[in-house]
Copies of this chain bind each other. A is one copy, B any other.
Amino acid sequence: MTNAGNELTSLITSTPQEGRDLAVKLARKSIAEIQTDPEIRKSLRKSYAEDTAQLIASAQVVAVEFQTIAMANNYWR
């Protein structure tokens, strides 16, 4: 996996754990694409990290992104 920069160059990862990490990264990048100001994102961060409803909604985004990545990697079978 060579997604070190901001560009997504591949969905292929070596391990399922790297797939999880990529899923979290994609979810975060989606939010950064809509709220482009990093200072505002930082100030918003505390609010959702202590709001369980938003934590659960975030986990839902990660679950869908991970499903796509798992398919791409043929589930690391």
Contacts and interface: CB of A to CB of B under 8 A. Distances in A.
Interface of A: 7-12, 15-17, 19-20, 24, 26-27, 29-31, 33-35, 40, 44, 47-68, 70-72, 75-77
B76 A50 contact: no
Copy number of this protein in the oligomer? 6
A29 B19 CA distance: 13
Given A63-B61, A63-B68, A71-B70, A55 B35 contact: yes
A9 B30 CA distance: 23
A15 B2 CA distance: 13
Given A17-B8, A64-B63, A71-B75, A31 B44 contact: no
B70 A11 contact: yes
